[in-house]
Chains A and B, each alone.
Chain A
Amino acid sequence: MSSPAKNRIGQLSLNMAVAVGGVITLVPLVWMVFSSFKTTTEIFRYPPWLMPQELSLSNYESLLAGFPFARWYLNSIFYSAVVTLAVPLLCSLAGYAFAKLEFRGRRALFLLVLTSIVIPFQVVLTPMFILMSRIGWVDTPFAMTVPWVAPVLGIFLMRQYAYAVPTELLEAARIDGASEFRIYWQIVLPLLRSGLAALAIIQFLSSWNSYIWPLMVLRGQESMTLPVGLAGMQAQAAGTATPYGEMMAGATLSSLPVIALFLAAQRYLIAGLTEGARTRRSIRSLGRVR
């Protein structure tokens, strides 16, 4: 049995340790924001100092003047918005059908989808790029959206959430003469709300932050997204000094919406991530697909 005094020390050290970890977590983000107000000389001054000498907006000005940053921003918003809207819609339709409706081939089709979750992205990377260039989608918005609106994870997530819909409710609606699509639209969809929110957030984040795919299929400066545009700023400036201040300004501006989104919708994001974990674990029960 531990004495109250020992308990207090344990409690104190726990709180201190968590605080230290919290500071380590935050420092890079705070550093990013503060560096965006500094000149390159000040960013690399020694010893390092967090606070800028003055709150100068010149990095932001030259970022917007010297790079198509506003364009990158609009591109990122557009690509992510399309994916964020389309994925929950497509996946909830299919996920609902797999969870609640009986039809020939349901088991086989679902097994096919289930198996594919173990195939990593890099396997399809090369053929997908070839496909894009064959159909003339390289450097078009199509390449950034269409291939990504039907992720397997989304089907799992939606199927999982759709199970919770009471089948009696659907039956009753049928007896009342509602059409199949109307049942989905007016009864199922509202009940899937939290799942849809979680999926939308996960998809928004992965689209907003994706790097290797846009790096491959986007060519012109004007069609870049934020991550590839920002990372490209260091290579682009070869010969001249790397524009660190502008890069930090860009990194700050590009992180603001996702951090705001996270703080506003944390609950859904975490619920969705953990639900996703559960569905992936269910791979082990491949043989027992319902």
Chain B
Amino acid sequence: MRAHEPSRASAAYRLQGGRSPYAFIAPFLLLFAVFFVLPTLASVALALYRWNGAGAPEWVGFSNFRHLLSDPVFWQVARNTAFYTLASVTVLIPLGLVTALGLNSHALRFRGFWRSIYFTPVVVSAAATSLVFQILLSRDAGLLNGVLGLLGLGPVPWLQSRSWAKVGVFMVVAWRSLPLLAVYFLAGLQAIPQELQEAAMTDGAGAVKRFWHITLPLLRPVVLFVLVLVTLNSIQLFDEVQILTEGGPANASATVMQYLYSRGFERLRFGFASSVAALLFGAALSVALVEARALGGLRDDREV
């Protein structure tokens, strides 16, 4: 990570570019404007219209939002999404950190080998993963229930019951995203100067004390990044649920993103879909800001 840090002298100044910089950024900027800026602005406007793609859009003001907020299904999917987000934050982040600590430990043998193994799920598609887990989580013949059966438990209808479907989906999400979080934490751990740990060791600080007083405070920026990443990803959850349960049974596992897709897109209610997107964006942004503030606040306490 630090290898790319330029020496101050060579990075601090730029060449006078003349006209060539514009030619260099033009292709990117053009595509960025057409396929990102324009759709974003359109999305904001569209939320205030009713439009199915044909004919002229009809101005409806905030009626899309009123309609949305009075739909019980929306509240159901919002609660489900909150569940996935909360579960990810409280379970995956500590677990990801623990995984990274394990993979970073000098007491671990074959470290390179284990790291490769642990990171493999990151590259496998949500589609392939979800299809395999459909088999692994099947009620009557799935591996998980087979193992639980040996302990005299189950069988649990992981994907079929209203109360378990969310848990089943979350396990798949966990399997896919935990390694990615561990990658980030591992990079953060490796950036901590070894001398600090050694100095604390000489002072007689035990492993637990070193973790709380050295590792964790120095890891704070990484924790913040991972926290925001996990939050945003779970608020946008779609692929796994769509393939595993299609949001069922009876919307028990459906997410806001699926709601946007089915209510807005499949039924061609583009204005309505945009209002869902706007609300989702607002929620994501505020949660991320709150998280950033919370962790930033921690710093002020510490460094005063």
Contacts and interface: CB of A to CB of B under 8 A. Distances in A.
A168 B6 CA distance: 12
Contacts of B133: 28
A251 interface: yes
A226 B127 contact: yes
Interface in A30-78: 31-32, 35, 43-48
Q: How large is the interface on A (under 10, 10 to 19, 20 to 34, 35 or more residues)?
A: 35 or more
B273 A126 contact: yes
Contact of A127 (B5, B38, B183, B261): B38
Given A100-B15, A167-B13, A184-B24, A251 B40 contact: no
A25 interface: yes
A44 B145 CA distance: 12
Given A22-B114, A106-B21, A274-B184, A29 B15 contact: no
B28 A48 contact: no
Contacts of A15: 107-109
Interface residues of B, number: 107
A270 B257 contact: no
B284 A120 contact: yes
Q: Main secondary structure on chain B at its contact with chain A? A: helix
A101 B24 contact: yes
Contacts of A171: 15
Nearest to A27: B143
Given A167-B10, A258-B124, A14 B107 contact: yes
Interface in A113-151: 113, 116, 118-131, 133, 146-150
B102 A17 contact: yes
Interface string B10-48: 110111111011111101110110011111101100100
Given A124-B36, A152-B36, A163-B6, A270 B119 contact: yes
Nearest to A24: B175
A242 to B, nearest CB: 9
B118 interface: yes
Given A184-B24, A208-B125, A247 B107 contact: no
B236 to A, nearest CB: 6
Interface string B95-117: 00001001101011100001011
Nearest to A160: B4
A93 interface: yes
Contact of A101 (B17, B42, B242): B17
Interface stretch (B86-94, B209-217, B274-282): B274-282
Contacts of B123: 205, 209, 255, 258-259, 261-262, 269
Contacts of B204: 1
B35 A146 contact: yes
B29 A46 contact: no
A234 B244 CA distance: 10
Contacts of B206: 2
Contacts of A288: none
Given A44-B140, A46-B141, A97-B21, A28 B129 contact: yes
A275 B191 CA distance: 12
B102 A93 contact: no
A211 B296 CA distance: 35
Contacts of A99: 14
B248 interface: no
Q: Counting chain B CB atoms within 10 Å of each CB, which of A103, A171, A262 scores highest?
A: A103
A213 B196 CA distance: 47
B232 interface: yes
Interface string A249-280: 00100110011011100100111011101101
Given A209-B125, A228-B127, A251-B128, A130 B270 contact: yes
A98 interface: yes
A231 interface: yes
A131 B128 contact: no
Contact of A119 (B40, B119, B125): B40
Contacts of A215: 242
Interface of B: 1, 3-7, 10-11, 13-18, 20-25, 27-29, 31-32, 35-40, 42-43, 46, 53, 99, 102-103, 105, 107-109, 114, 116-133, 135-136, 138, 140-143, 146, 149, 175, 179-180, 183-184, 187, 204, 206, 221-222, 224-225, 229, 232, 235-236, 238-239, 242-243, 257, 260-261, 264-265, 270, 273-274, 277-278, 280-281, 284-285, 288, 292, 296
Interface of A: 1-2, 10-11, 14-15, 17-19, 21-22, 24-29, 31-32, 35, 43-48, 90-91, 93-94, 96-103, 106, 109, 112-113, 116, 118-131, 133, 146-150, 152, 155, 160-161, 163-168, 170-171, 174, 180-181, 184, 195, 205, 208-209, 211-212, 215-216, 226-228, 230-231, 234, 244, 247-248, 251, 254-255, 258-259, 261-263, 266, 269-271, 273-275, 277-278, 280-281, 284
Given A103-B18, A123-B281, 12 more contacts: A14-B105, A18-B114, A93-B24, A101-B15, A113-B32, A123-B280, A127-B43, A147-B35, A226-B127, A227-B127, A255-B124, A258-B125
